[in-house]
Structure 1
Amino acid sequence: MTIRALISAVSQQEDLNFLLTNRIPRAAATRFMGWFSRIENPYVRDLSIACWRLFSDLDLSEARKTEFKSLHDCFTRELRPGLRPPDPDPRVVASPSDAIVGAFGSIRDGELYQIKGAPYSLLDLVGDAALVEQHRQGRFVTLRLTSSMYHRFHAPYDCRIKRVTFIHGDVWNVNPIALKRVERLFCKNERAVLQTQLSSGEALTLVPVAAILVASIRLHFLDVVLNAQTRGATAFPCDVEVRKGCELGWFEHGSTIIVLAPDHLEFCDGVTEGSRIRAGQPLLRKPVPNQ
Protein backbone atom coordinates (compact mmCIF):
# COMPACT_ATOMS: atom_id res chain seq x y z
CA MET A 1 0.00 0.00 0.00
CA THR A 2 1.35 3.45 -0.94
CA ILE A 3 1.65 6.23 1.64
CA ARG A 4 -1.15 8.17 -0.06
CA ALA A 5 -3.43 5.11 -0.02
CA LEU A 6 -2.66 4.58 3.67
CA ILE A 7 -3.48 8.21 4.45
CA SER A 8 -6.72 7.92 2.49
CA ALA A 9 -7.69 4.78 4.39
CA VAL A 10 -7.01 6.46 7.73
CA SER A 11 -9.01 9.55 6.72
CA GLN A 12 -12.03 7.34 6.04
CA GLN A 13 -12.05 6.15 9.65
CA GLU A 14 -14.60 8.62 10.99
CA ASP A 15 -13.70 8.39 14.68
CA LEU A 16 -10.00 8.91 13.99
CA ASN A 17 -10.64 11.66 11.44
CA PHE A 18 -12.85 13.56 13.88
CA LEU A 19 -10.33 13.11 16.68
CA LEU A 20 -7.37 14.34 14.61
CA THR A 21 -9.16 17.33 13.09
CA ASN A 22 -11.32 18.53 15.99
CA ARG A 23 -10.18 17.16 19.36
CA ILE A 24 -7.06 19.28 19.32
CA PRO A 25 -6.58 22.90 20.46
CA ARG A 26 -8.37 24.28 17.39
CA ALA A 27 -7.73 27.99 17.95
CA ALA A 28 -4.05 27.43 18.80
CA ALA A 29 -3.55 25.18 15.77
CA THR A 30 -5.16 27.80 13.56
CA ARG A 31 -2.96 30.61 14.92
CA PHE A 32 0.12 28.44 14.43
CA MET A 33 -0.80 27.66 10.84
CA GLY A 34 -1.41 31.35 10.16
CA TRP A 35 2.15 32.09 11.33
CA PHE A 36 3.83 29.05 9.83
CA SER A 37 2.25 29.38 6.39
CA ARG A 38 3.78 32.85 5.95
CA ILE A 39 7.39 31.78 6.53
CA GLU A 40 9.28 32.82 3.39
CA ASN A 41 11.99 30.19 3.45
CA PRO A 42 12.46 27.97 0.37
CA TYR A 43 13.12 24.82 2.40
CA VAL A 44 10.05 25.34 4.61
CA ARG A 45 7.94 26.23 1.57
CA ASP A 46 9.03 23.27 -0.53
CA LEU A 47 8.68 20.73 2.26
CA SER A 48 5.25 22.12 3.22
CA ILE A 49 3.94 21.96 -0.33
CA ALA A 50 5.34 18.45 -0.75
CA CYS A 51 3.51 17.29 2.38
CA TRP A 52 0.36 19.05 1.19
CA ARG A 53 0.53 17.14 -2.10
CA LEU A 54 0.93 13.90 -0.16
CA PHE A 55 -2.24 14.48 1.82
CA SER A 56 -4.41 15.85 -1.00
CA ASP A 57 -5.02 16.09 -4.73
CA LEU A 58 -3.28 19.47 -4.99
CA ASP A 59 -2.91 20.55 -8.63
CA LEU A 60 -0.99 23.76 -9.35
CA SER A 61 -1.11 23.49 -13.14
CA GLU A 62 -3.73 26.28 -13.33
CA ALA A 63 -1.82 28.69 -11.08
CA ARG A 64 -0.75 32.02 -12.52
CA LYS A 65 2.67 31.73 -10.85
CA THR A 66 5.00 28.76 -10.92
CA GLU A 67 6.99 29.85 -7.86
CA PHE A 68 5.55 30.85 -4.50
CA LYS A 69 7.09 32.86 -1.67
CA SER A 70 5.47 30.77 1.06
CA LEU A 71 2.83 28.17 1.80
CA HIS A 72 0.33 31.01 2.29
CA ASP A 73 1.22 32.41 -1.12
CA CYS A 74 0.40 29.01 -2.60
CA PHE A 75 -2.87 28.69 -0.60
CA THR A 76 -4.16 32.01 -1.92
CA ARG A 77 -2.87 31.60 -5.46
CA GLU A 78 -4.37 33.31 -8.48
CA LEU A 79 -5.24 31.33 -11.56
CA ARG A 80 -4.14 32.07 -15.08
CA PRO A 81 -6.39 34.69 -16.71
CA GLY A 82 -9.54 33.37 -18.36
CA LEU A 83 -9.77 30.06 -16.48
CA ARG A 84 -12.94 30.85 -14.49
CA PRO A 85 -15.14 32.99 -16.76
CA PRO A 86 -18.60 33.61 -15.27
CA ASP A 87 -21.53 32.16 -17.17
CA PRO A 88 -22.71 34.99 -19.47
CA ASP A 89 -26.42 34.11 -19.28
CA PRO A 90 -28.10 37.02 -17.42
CA ARG A 91 -30.57 34.54 -15.89
CA VAL A 92 -27.79 32.54 -14.22
CA VAL A 93 -26.42 33.02 -10.71
CA ALA A 94 -22.92 31.57 -10.89
CA SER A 95 -21.02 29.63 -8.28
CA PRO A 96 -18.82 32.04 -6.30
CA SER A 97 -16.05 29.46 -5.87
CA ASP A 98 -14.65 26.09 -6.77
CA ALA A 99 -16.40 23.69 -4.40
CA ILE A 100 -18.11 20.43 -3.64
CA VAL A 101 -21.87 20.92 -3.39
CA GLY A 102 -23.21 20.03 0.05
CA ALA A 103 -26.76 20.41 1.33
CA PHE A 104 -29.08 22.56 -0.76
CA GLY A 105 -32.78 23.18 -1.17
CA SER A 106 -35.58 25.38 0.11
CA ILE A 107 -35.41 27.37 3.33
CA ARG A 108 -38.51 26.40 5.33
CA ASP A 109 -39.76 29.22 7.53
CA GLY A 110 -36.23 30.33 8.38
CA GLU A 111 -34.76 26.84 8.79
CA LEU A 112 -32.19 25.07 6.62
CA TYR A 113 -29.92 22.08 7.17
CA GLN A 114 -26.21 21.24 7.15
CA ILE A 115 -26.92 17.60 6.26
CA LYS A 116 -30.21 15.72 6.01
CA GLY A 117 -31.81 15.49 9.44
CA ALA A 118 -29.57 18.19 10.93
CA PRO A 119 -31.44 21.52 10.74
CA TYR A 120 -30.26 24.90 11.95
CA SER A 121 -31.77 28.34 12.22
CA LEU A 122 -31.10 31.04 9.66
CA LEU A 123 -31.23 33.58 12.49
CA ASP A 124 -28.47 31.71 14.32
CA LEU A 125 -26.40 31.76 11.13
CA VAL A 126 -26.72 35.43 10.12
CA GLY A 127 -27.75 37.08 13.39
CA ASP A 128 -30.04 39.60 11.69
CA ALA A 129 -33.83 39.27 11.96
CA ALA A 130 -34.46 41.64 9.03
CA LEU A 131 -32.20 39.59 6.77
CA VAL A 132 -33.93 36.40 7.89
CA GLU A 133 -37.24 37.83 6.71
CA GLN A 134 -35.78 38.40 3.25
CA HIS A 135 -34.71 34.75 2.99
CA ARG A 136 -37.32 33.02 5.16
CA GLN A 137 -38.76 30.97 2.27
CA GLY A 138 -35.81 31.26 -0.13
CA ARG A 139 -33.20 28.89 -1.47
CA PHE A 140 -29.84 27.86 -0.01
CA VAL A 141 -26.82 25.91 -1.16
CA THR A 142 -23.70 24.95 0.78
CA LEU A 143 -20.39 25.00 -1.11
CA ARG A 144 -17.43 23.26 0.54
CA LEU A 145 -13.90 24.17 -0.49
CA THR A 146 -11.30 21.49 0.17
CA SER A 147 -7.75 22.39 1.15
CA SER A 148 -6.35 21.75 -2.33
CA MET A 149 -8.87 23.86 -4.24
CA TYR A 150 -8.60 27.38 -5.61
CA HIS A 151 -9.48 29.48 -2.55
CA ARG A 152 -10.63 32.78 -4.03
CA PHE A 153 -14.31 33.59 -4.33
CA HIS A 154 -16.19 35.81 -6.75
CA ALA A 155 -19.44 37.72 -7.18
CA PRO A 156 -22.13 35.26 -8.31
CA TYR A 157 -24.16 37.94 -10.08
CA ASP A 158 -24.24 41.67 -10.84
CA CYS A 159 -25.16 43.21 -7.49
CA ARG A 160 -24.45 45.84 -4.87
CA ILE A 161 -22.78 44.83 -1.62
CA LYS A 162 -24.67 46.70 1.09
CA ARG A 163 -23.24 45.38 4.34
CA VAL A 164 -20.72 42.94 5.78
CA THR A 165 -21.05 41.56 9.29
CA PHE A 166 -18.28 39.54 10.91
CA ILE A 167 -19.34 37.06 13.60
CA HIS A 168 -16.69 35.72 15.97
CA GLY A 169 -16.81 32.01 16.75
CA ASP A 170 -15.06 28.65 16.89
CA VAL A 171 -13.05 26.90 14.17
CA TRP A 172 -14.48 23.40 13.89
CA ASN A 173 -13.56 21.39 10.82
CA VAL A 174 -16.37 21.63 8.25
CA ASN A 175 -15.88 18.26 6.52
CA PRO A 176 -18.86 15.86 6.23
CA ILE A 177 -17.72 13.84 9.25
CA ALA A 178 -17.86 16.92 11.51
CA LEU A 179 -21.15 18.05 9.98
CA LYS A 180 -22.71 14.76 11.07
CA ARG A 181 -21.42 15.08 14.64
CA VAL A 182 -21.52 18.78 15.55
CA GLU A 183 -25.00 20.30 15.68
CA ARG A 184 -25.43 23.79 14.16
CA LEU A 185 -21.77 23.78 13.21
CA PHE A 186 -21.98 26.68 10.75
CA CYS A 187 -23.63 28.78 13.47
CA LYS A 188 -20.70 28.12 15.82
CA ASN A 189 -17.77 28.93 13.53
CA GLU A 190 -16.35 32.31 12.60
CA ARG A 191 -18.09 33.70 9.55
CA ALA A 192 -18.82 36.80 7.53
CA VAL A 193 -22.27 37.73 6.23
CA LEU A 194 -22.08 39.54 2.89
CA GLN A 195 -25.44 41.16 2.17
CA THR A 196 -25.90 42.01 -1.49
CA GLN A 197 -28.82 43.38 -3.45
CA LEU A 198 -29.78 42.51 -7.00
CA SER A 199 -31.03 45.17 -9.45
CA SER A 200 -34.54 43.86 -8.72
CA GLY A 201 -34.06 44.79 -5.06
CA GLU A 202 -34.00 41.17 -3.90
CA ALA A 203 -31.42 39.92 -1.42
CA LEU A 204 -28.62 37.55 -2.39
CA THR A 205 -26.42 36.74 0.60
CA LEU A 206 -23.06 34.98 0.85
CA VAL A 207 -21.86 33.55 4.16
CA PRO A 208 -18.18 32.52 4.03
CA VAL A 209 -17.58 30.24 7.04
CA ALA A 210 -14.09 29.79 8.48
CA ALA A 211 -12.76 26.50 9.86
CA ILE A 212 -9.76 24.97 11.60
CA LEU A 213 -6.52 26.30 10.02
CA VAL A 214 -8.72 28.64 7.92
CA ALA A 215 -9.90 31.37 10.27
CA SER A 216 -9.09 34.39 8.09
CA ILE A 217 -11.27 35.82 5.36
CA ARG A 218 -9.81 38.51 3.11
CA LEU A 219 -12.30 40.93 1.51
CA HIS A 220 -10.82 43.10 -1.24
CA PHE A 221 -13.65 45.63 -1.50
CA LEU A 222 -13.20 46.56 2.19
CA ASP A 223 -9.41 46.06 2.19
CA VAL A 224 -9.73 44.06 5.40
CA VAL A 225 -8.84 40.63 6.79
CA LEU A 226 -11.38 39.26 9.25
CA ASN A 227 -10.28 36.73 11.87
CA ALA A 228 -10.05 36.06 15.61
CA GLN A 229 -7.73 39.06 15.98
CA THR A 230 -10.32 41.42 14.51
CA ARG A 231 -11.07 44.17 17.02
CA GLY A 232 -13.42 47.12 16.96
CA ALA A 233 -16.28 47.29 14.47
CA THR A 234 -17.60 43.99 13.18
CA ALA A 235 -20.31 45.51 10.99
CA PHE A 236 -19.27 47.32 7.82
CA PRO A 237 -21.99 49.23 5.97
CA CYS A 238 -20.96 49.76 2.35
CA ASP A 239 -22.33 50.41 -1.10
CA VAL A 240 -20.09 48.62 -3.59
CA GLU A 241 -21.23 47.66 -7.07
CA VAL A 242 -19.69 44.46 -8.42
CA ARG A 243 -20.13 42.57 -11.66
CA LYS A 244 -20.63 38.84 -11.99
CA GLY A 245 -17.24 37.13 -11.70
CA CYS A 246 -15.52 40.01 -9.88
CA GLU A 247 -13.10 38.66 -7.26
CA LEU A 248 -14.39 39.45 -3.79
CA GLY A 249 -11.71 37.88 -1.61
CA TRP A 250 -10.18 34.64 -0.43
CA PHE A 251 -9.96 32.14 2.39
CA GLU A 252 -6.55 31.55 3.89
CA HIS A 253 -6.90 27.80 3.31
CA GLY A 254 -10.30 26.32 2.38
CA SER A 255 -13.72 26.20 3.96
CA THR A 256 -17.39 26.79 3.11
CA ILE A 257 -19.63 29.38 1.49
CA ILE A 258 -23.38 29.28 2.09
CA VAL A 259 -25.39 31.02 -0.63
CA LEU A 260 -28.85 32.39 0.28
CA ALA A 261 -30.99 33.26 -2.74
CA PRO A 262 -34.54 34.35 -3.66
CA ASP A 263 -37.21 31.66 -3.70
CA HIS A 264 -38.05 31.91 -7.41
CA LEU A 265 -34.59 30.77 -8.52
CA GLU A 266 -34.18 27.17 -9.66
CA PHE A 267 -31.12 24.98 -9.12
CA CYS A 268 -29.23 24.34 -12.33
CA ASP A 269 -28.70 20.91 -13.84
CA GLY A 270 -25.74 19.14 -12.27
CA VAL A 271 -26.17 20.74 -8.84
CA THR A 272 -26.39 17.62 -6.69
CA GLU A 273 -24.92 16.73 -3.32
CA GLY A 274 -21.32 15.65 -3.77
CA SER A 275 -20.94 17.12 -7.25
CA ARG A 276 -18.01 19.39 -8.03
CA ILE A 277 -18.53 22.88 -9.36
CA ARG A 278 -16.15 25.62 -10.41
CA ALA A 279 -16.31 29.35 -9.86
CA GLY A 280 -18.40 30.92 -12.62
CA GLN A 281 -20.36 27.80 -13.50
CA PRO A 282 -24.19 27.87 -13.29
CA LEU A 283 -25.54 27.40 -9.78
CA LEU A 284 -29.06 28.86 -9.84
CA ARG A 285 -31.21 30.17 -12.67
CA LYS A 286 -34.16 32.51 -13.06
CA PRO A 287 -37.02 30.59 -14.66
CA VAL A 288 -38.02 31.36 -18.22
CA PRO A 289 -41.05 33.70 -18.18
CA ASN A 290 -44.32 32.17 -19.35
CA GLN A 291 -44.95 32.95 -22.97
Structure 2
Amino acid sequence: MTVKAIIASFTQQEDLNFLLTNRIPRAALTRFMGWFSKIENPLVRDASIALWKLFSDLDLSEARKDHFTSLHDCFTRELKPGLRPFDPDPSVVASPSDGIVGAHGRIADTELFQVKGAPYSLLDLLGDSALVDQHRNGSFVTLRLTSSMYHRFHAPFDAHVERVTLIHGDVWNVNPIALKRVERLFCKNERAVIRTKLSTGEAVTLVPVAAILVASIRLHFLDMVLNAQSHGPVNFPCDVNVAKGEELGWFEHGSTIIILAPGDFTFCDGIAEGTRIRAGQALLRKK
Protein backbone atom coordinates (compact mmCIF):
# COMPACT_ATOMS: atom_id res chain seq x y z
CA MET A 1 0.00 0.00 0.00
CA THR A 2 1.37 3.42 -0.95
CA VAL A 3 1.80 6.26 1.53
CA LYS A 4 -0.96 8.16 -0.25
CA ALA A 5 -3.34 5.19 0.12
CA ILE A 6 -2.50 4.81 3.82
CA ILE A 7 -3.22 8.48 4.44
CA ALA A 8 -6.50 8.23 2.53
CA SER A 9 -7.54 5.17 4.54
CA PHE A 10 -6.70 6.89 7.83
CA THR A 11 -8.69 9.97 6.80
CA GLN A 12 -11.69 7.81 5.90
CA GLN A 13 -11.52 6.13 9.33
CA GLU A 14 -11.44 9.54 11.01
CA ASP A 15 -14.41 10.68 8.91
CA LEU A 16 -16.39 7.60 9.94
CA ASN A 17 -15.50 8.02 13.61
CA PHE A 18 -16.53 11.68 13.54
CA LEU A 19 -19.76 10.83 11.71
CA LEU A 20 -20.74 8.09 14.16
CA THR A 21 -19.94 10.06 17.32
CA ASN A 22 -20.97 13.60 16.38
CA ARG A 23 -23.29 13.77 13.35
CA ILE A 24 -26.12 12.30 15.38
CA PRO A 25 -28.73 13.78 17.77
CA ARG A 26 -26.15 14.19 20.56
CA ALA A 27 -28.40 15.68 23.25
CA ALA A 28 -31.21 13.16 22.68
CA LEU A 29 -28.80 10.24 22.71
CA THR A 30 -27.21 11.53 25.91
CA ARG A 31 -30.62 11.83 27.62
CA PHE A 32 -31.47 8.32 26.48
CA MET A 33 -28.19 6.99 27.84
CA GLY A 34 -28.85 8.64 31.18
CA TRP A 35 -32.19 6.82 31.38
CA PHE A 36 -31.04 3.50 29.92
CA SER A 37 -27.95 3.17 32.11
CA LYS A 38 -30.07 3.24 35.27
CA ILE A 39 -32.31 0.31 34.29
CA GLU A 40 -31.95 -2.27 37.04
CA ASN A 41 -32.84 -5.31 34.97
CA PRO A 42 -30.30 -8.17 35.17
CA LEU A 43 -30.57 -8.98 31.45
CA VAL A 44 -30.14 -5.34 30.39
CA ARG A 45 -27.30 -4.86 32.87
CA ASP A 46 -25.38 -8.00 31.90
CA ALA A 47 -25.80 -7.46 28.15
CA SER A 48 -24.74 -3.81 28.43
CA ILE A 49 -21.61 -4.55 30.47
CA ALA A 50 -20.69 -7.47 28.17
CA LEU A 51 -21.00 -5.22 25.11
CA TRP A 52 -18.97 -2.53 26.85
CA LYS A 53 -16.18 -5.03 27.58
CA LEU A 54 -16.23 -6.21 23.96
CA PHE A 55 -15.51 -2.75 22.57
CA SER A 56 -13.17 -1.37 25.25
CA ASP A 57 -10.42 -2.27 27.69
CA LEU A 58 -12.83 -2.30 30.65
CA ASP A 59 -11.19 -3.87 33.71
CA LEU A 60 -13.36 -4.36 36.78
CA SER A 61 -10.72 -6.15 38.88
CA GLU A 62 -10.10 -2.93 40.86
CA ALA A 63 -13.78 -2.35 41.63
CA ARG A 64 -14.81 -2.34 45.28
CA LYS A 65 -17.69 -4.70 44.53
CA ASP A 66 -18.18 -7.42 41.96
CA HIS A 67 -21.92 -7.04 41.50
CA PHE A 68 -23.61 -4.01 39.97
CA THR A 69 -27.29 -3.14 39.95
CA SER A 70 -27.13 -1.35 36.58
CA LEU A 71 -24.82 -0.06 33.88
CA HIS A 72 -24.80 3.30 35.71
CA ASP A 73 -23.71 1.56 38.91
CA CYS A 74 -20.80 0.05 36.99
CA PHE A 75 -19.86 3.35 35.30
CA THR A 76 -19.65 5.16 38.63
CA ARG A 77 -17.99 2.33 40.53
CA GLU A 78 -15.80 2.87 43.56
CA LEU A 79 -12.38 1.23 43.78
CA LYS A 80 -10.96 -1.00 46.46
CA PRO A 81 -9.48 1.09 49.31
CA GLY A 82 -5.87 2.19 48.89
CA LEU A 83 -5.60 1.75 45.11
CA ARG A 84 -5.20 5.47 44.37
CA PRO A 85 -2.85 6.92 47.03
CA PHE A 86 -2.35 10.66 46.62
CA ASP A 87 1.12 12.20 46.55
CA PRO A 88 1.58 13.60 50.07
CA ASP A 89 3.96 16.42 49.06
CA PRO A 90 2.09 19.69 49.85
CA SER A 91 3.86 21.43 46.94
CA VAL A 92 2.34 18.95 44.46
CA VAL A 93 -0.97 19.23 42.64
CA ALA A 94 -1.95 15.61 42.06
CA SER A 95 -4.04 14.28 39.21
CA PRO A 96 -7.70 14.48 40.25
CA SER A 97 -8.64 11.44 38.16
CA ASP A 98 -7.45 8.63 36.00
CA GLY A 99 -6.93 9.92 32.49
CA ILE A 100 -4.79 10.47 29.43
CA VAL A 101 -2.71 13.65 29.39
CA GLY A 102 -3.78 15.84 26.50
CA ALA A 103 -2.86 19.41 25.60
CA HIS A 104 -0.91 21.13 28.38
CA GLY A 105 1.60 23.91 28.85
CA ARG A 106 1.76 27.60 29.58
CA ILE A 107 -1.20 29.89 29.06
CA ALA A 108 -0.12 32.59 26.61
CA ASP A 109 -1.67 35.61 28.32
CA THR A 110 -5.23 34.18 28.22
CA GLU A 111 -4.89 31.72 25.33
CA LEU A 112 -4.54 27.96 25.63
CA PHE A 113 -5.12 25.15 23.14
CA GLN A 114 -7.11 21.92 22.80
CA VAL A 115 -4.69 20.44 20.26
CA LYS A 116 -1.72 21.99 18.46
CA GLY A 117 -2.96 24.81 16.25
CA ALA A 118 -6.43 24.92 17.84
CA PRO A 119 -6.49 27.73 20.43
CA TYR A 120 -9.30 28.89 22.69
CA SER A 121 -9.53 31.57 25.33
CA LEU A 122 -9.88 31.46 29.08
CA LEU A 123 -12.84 33.83 28.89
CA ASP A 124 -14.71 31.51 26.51
CA LEU A 125 -13.99 28.57 28.80
CA LEU A 126 -14.68 30.20 32.18
CA GLY A 127 -17.10 33.00 31.36
CA ASP A 128 -15.71 35.25 34.11
CA SER A 129 -13.15 37.99 33.45
CA ALA A 130 -12.08 38.20 37.11
CA LEU A 131 -11.26 34.49 37.16
CA VAL A 132 -9.48 34.86 33.83
CA ASP A 133 -7.15 37.44 35.39
CA GLN A 134 -6.21 34.99 38.13
CA HIS A 135 -5.00 32.46 35.53
CA ARG A 136 -3.38 34.84 33.06
CA ASN A 137 0.04 33.43 32.01
CA GLY A 138 -0.50 30.40 34.24
CA SER A 139 -0.34 26.70 33.44
CA PHE A 140 -2.99 24.29 32.18
CA VAL A 141 -3.33 20.57 31.64
CA THR A 142 -6.11 18.57 30.00
CA LEU A 143 -6.98 15.07 31.21
CA ARG A 144 -9.23 12.90 29.06
CA LEU A 145 -11.15 10.03 30.63
CA THR A 146 -12.08 7.17 28.32
CA SER A 147 -15.35 5.30 28.81
CA SER A 148 -13.71 2.31 30.50
CA MET A 149 -11.75 4.31 33.09
CA TYR A 150 -12.53 4.93 36.74
CA HIS A 151 -14.93 7.89 36.54
CA ARG A 152 -14.67 9.43 40.00
CA PHE A 153 -12.52 12.50 40.56
CA HIS A 154 -10.87 13.79 43.70
CA ALA A 155 -9.40 16.92 45.26
CA PRO A 156 -5.86 17.24 43.84
CA PHE A 157 -4.70 19.32 46.86
CA ASP A 158 -5.87 20.67 50.21
CA ALA A 159 -8.09 23.57 49.23
CA HIS A 160 -11.11 25.73 49.88
CA VAL A 161 -13.94 25.49 47.33
CA GLU A 162 -15.43 28.96 46.81
CA ARG A 163 -17.92 28.56 43.99
CA VAL A 164 -19.19 26.24 41.28
CA THR A 165 -20.59 27.64 38.04
CA LEU A 166 -22.58 25.43 35.67
CA ILE A 167 -22.27 26.48 32.03
CA HIS A 168 -24.88 24.87 29.79
CA GLY A 169 -23.80 23.73 26.36
CA ASP A 170 -23.51 20.95 23.80
CA VAL A 171 -22.21 17.40 24.22
CA TRP A 172 -19.65 16.95 21.45
CA ASN A 173 -17.42 13.92 21.72
CA VAL A 174 -14.08 14.95 23.27
CA ASN A 175 -11.88 12.36 21.55
CA PRO A 176 -8.77 13.50 19.62
CA ILE A 177 -10.56 13.35 16.27
CA ALA A 178 -13.27 15.77 17.39
CA LEU A 179 -10.73 18.06 19.05
CA LYS A 180 -8.98 18.46 15.70
CA ARG A 181 -12.21 19.23 13.86
CA VAL A 182 -14.41 21.26 16.23
CA GLU A 183 -13.06 24.70 17.09
CA ARG A 184 -13.25 25.74 20.76
CA LEU A 185 -14.90 22.43 21.60
CA PHE A 186 -14.40 22.67 25.38
CA CYS A 187 -16.01 26.11 25.32
CA LYS A 188 -19.10 24.72 23.58
CA ASN A 189 -19.76 21.71 25.81
CA GLU A 190 -21.62 21.48 29.11
CA ARG A 191 -19.15 22.10 31.95
CA ALA A 192 -18.72 23.05 35.57
CA VAL A 193 -16.18 25.61 36.75
CA ILE A 194 -14.97 24.69 40.25
CA ARG A 195 -13.11 27.60 41.85
CA THR A 196 -10.72 26.73 44.64
CA LYS A 197 -7.98 28.42 46.62
CA LEU A 198 -4.90 26.79 48.08
CA SER A 199 -3.98 27.51 51.69
CA THR A 200 -1.43 29.97 50.28
CA GLY A 201 -4.24 31.91 48.59
CA GLU A 202 -3.44 30.91 45.01
CA ALA A 203 -6.28 30.05 42.65
CA VAL A 204 -6.48 26.58 41.11
CA THR A 205 -9.56 25.90 38.99
CA LEU A 206 -10.97 22.56 37.88
CA VAL A 207 -13.23 22.43 34.83
CA PRO A 208 -14.98 19.07 34.35
CA VAL A 209 -16.30 19.05 30.77
CA ALA A 210 -19.20 16.78 29.83
CA ALA A 211 -19.42 14.99 26.49
CA ILE A 212 -21.74 12.81 24.44
CA LEU A 213 -23.37 10.09 26.59
CA VAL A 214 -22.36 11.94 29.77
CA ALA A 215 -25.70 12.23 31.51
CA SER A 216 -24.42 14.37 34.36
CA ILE A 217 -21.65 15.58 36.64
CA ARG A 218 -22.23 14.70 40.31
CA LEU A 219 -20.60 16.89 42.98
CA HIS A 220 -20.83 15.63 46.55
CA PHE A 221 -20.36 18.97 48.31
CA LEU A 222 -23.36 20.41 46.45
CA ASP A 223 -25.33 17.21 47.02
CA MET A 224 -26.80 17.47 43.55
CA VAL A 225 -26.39 16.43 39.94
CA LEU A 226 -25.54 19.03 37.31
CA ASN A 227 -26.72 18.41 33.76
CA ALA A 228 -28.66 19.88 30.84
CA GLN A 229 -31.90 19.45 32.77
CA SER A 230 -30.65 21.50 35.75
CA HIS A 231 -32.84 24.57 36.26
CA GLY A 232 -32.59 27.55 38.56
CA PRO A 233 -29.27 29.13 39.54
CA VAL A 234 -26.11 28.38 37.63
CA ASN A 235 -23.81 29.86 40.27
CA PHE A 236 -23.46 27.97 43.53
CA PRO A 237 -21.55 29.79 46.28
CA CYS A 238 -19.58 27.32 48.40
CA ASP A 239 -17.67 27.43 51.65
CA VAL A 240 -16.14 23.96 51.73
CA ASN A 241 -12.69 22.76 52.74
CA VAL A 242 -11.52 19.62 50.94
CA ALA A 243 -8.49 17.48 51.72
CA LYS A 244 -6.15 16.16 49.05
CA GLY A 245 -7.55 12.87 47.76
CA GLU A 246 -11.08 13.50 49.01
CA GLU A 247 -13.68 12.39 46.48
CA LEU A 248 -15.38 15.36 44.82
CA GLY A 249 -17.80 13.55 42.53
CA TRP A 250 -18.04 11.63 39.28
CA PHE A 251 -18.84 11.66 35.59
CA GLU A 252 -21.46 9.25 34.31
CA HIS A 253 -19.27 8.36 31.32
CA GLY A 254 -15.83 9.29 30.02
CA SER A 255 -15.01 12.95 29.56
CA THR A 256 -12.40 15.62 30.35
CA ILE A 257 -11.05 17.64 33.25
CA ILE A 258 -9.04 20.82 32.62
CA ILE A 259 -6.82 21.99 35.50
CA LEU A 260 -5.74 25.65 35.62
CA ALA A 261 -2.88 26.56 37.96
CA PRO A 262 -0.80 29.69 38.66
CA GLY A 263 2.33 30.50 36.71
CA ASP A 264 4.66 29.43 39.52
CA PHE A 265 3.72 25.76 39.02
CA THR A 266 5.68 23.48 36.68
CA PHE A 267 4.87 20.05 35.31
CA CYS A 268 6.21 17.04 37.16
CA ASP A 269 8.53 14.50 35.55
CA GLY A 270 6.85 12.12 33.12
CA ILE A 271 3.96 14.42 32.19
CA ALA A 272 3.71 14.25 28.40
CA GLU A 273 0.89 14.21 25.88
CA GLY A 274 -0.55 10.72 25.50
CA THR A 275 0.69 9.54 28.90
CA ARG A 276 -1.78 7.60 31.04
CA ILE A 277 -1.99 8.87 34.57
CA ARG A 278 -3.83 7.72 37.67
CA ALA A 279 -5.65 9.73 40.29
CA GLY A 280 -3.16 10.77 42.95
CA GLN A 281 -0.02 10.83 40.82
CA ALA A 282 2.04 14.02 40.80
CA LEU A 283 0.92 16.38 38.05
CA LEU A 284 2.17 19.90 38.85
CA ARG A 285 4.66 21.16 41.40
CA LYS A 286 5.15 24.60 42.89
CA LYS A 287 8.57 26.04 42.04
TM-score range, shorter chain: over 0.9
Identity of aligned residues (%): 80
Asked if the contact 2:193–2:205 (Cα under 8 Å) also holds between the matched residues in 1, the reply is yes
Q: Mind listing any 5+ residue stretches in structure 2 that lack a counterpart?
A: 1-8
Q: Match of 1:68?
A: 68
Q: Which residue of 1 aligns with 2:285?
A: 285
Structure 1 partner of 2:104? 104
**Alpha-carbon distance in 1 for matches of 2:221, 2:61:** 28
Give the superposition deviation at 1:189. Answer: 0.2
1:172 touches 1:212 (CA, 8 Å); kept in 2? yes
Instruction: Give the alignment's TM-score, normalised by structure 1.
Output: 0.94
Q: What is the SS of the residue equivalent to 2:229?
A: coil
- Which runs of structure 2 are paired with 1:168-247 in the superposition (5 Å)? 168-247=168-247
Per the alignment, in what secondary structure is the counterpart of residue 19 of structure 2? helix
State the AA in 2 paired with 1:50.
A
Aligned to 1:3: none
> CA-to-partner distance for each residue in 1:157-187, whole Å, 9 max, x for gaps?
0000000000000000000000000000000
Q: Distance in 1 between matches of 2:96 and 2:200?
A: 20
Q: Secondary structure at the match of 2:238?
A: strand
SS at match of 2:43: helix
Q: Distance in 2 between matches of 1:264 and 1:19?
A: 41
Runs of 4+ in 1 over 4 A off after TM superposition: 9-12
Q: Secondary structure at the match of 2:186?
A: helix
Classify the secondary structure of the residue corresponding to 1:207: strand
Give the structure 2 partner of residue 122 of structure 1. 122
Kept in 1: contact 2:153–2:250 (CA 8 A): yes
2:40 maps to 1:34: no
Aligned-partner Cα distance in 2 for 1:177–1:230 = 29
Letter of the aligned partner of 1:111 in structure 2? E
Q: What is the rounded CA distance, in whole Å, between the counterparts of 2:36 and 2:149 in structure 1?
A: 20
SS of the residue aligned with 2:132? Answer: helix
Q: 1:74 to 1:11 in 2, by over 3 A?
A: farther
Task: Give the 3 Å change call, closer, same or farther, for CA 10–72 of structure 1 in structure 2.
Answer: farther
Counterpart residue number, 1:162 = 162
Answer yes or no: is 1:80 the counterpart of 2:88.
no
Instruction: Letter of the 1:254 partner, please give it.
Output: G
d(CA) in 2 for partners of 1:136, 1:160: 21
CA positional deviation for 1:65: 0.6
CA distance in 1, matches of 2:37, 2:68: 11
* Secondary structure class of the residue paired with 1:13: helix
The TM-score with structure 2 as length reference comes to 0.96
Equivalent residue pairs, number: 279
Does residue 24 of structure 2 align to residue 46 of structure 1?
A: no
- Rounded to whole Å, the distance in 1 between the matches of 2:110 and 2:214 is 28
TM-aligned CA deviation for residue 215 of structure 1: 3.7
Give the superposition deviation at 1:254. 1.1
CA contact (8 A) 2:33 2:215 kept: no
Q: Does 1:254 align with 2:251?
A: no
- Which residue matches 1:131? 131
| SS state at 1:30 partner | helix
Q: Distance in 2 between matches of 1:131 and 1:207?
A: 12
Q: Tell me, which stretches of 5 or more residues in structure 1 are unaligned?
A: 1-8
CA distance in 1, matches of 2:49, 2:65: 14
| Partner of residue 4, structure 1 | none
The answer on whether the counterparts of 1:10 and 1:16 sit within 8 Å (CA) in structure 2 is no
For residues 11 and 241 of structure 1, do their structure 2 counterparts lie closer, same or farther at Cα, with a shift above 3 Å needed? farther
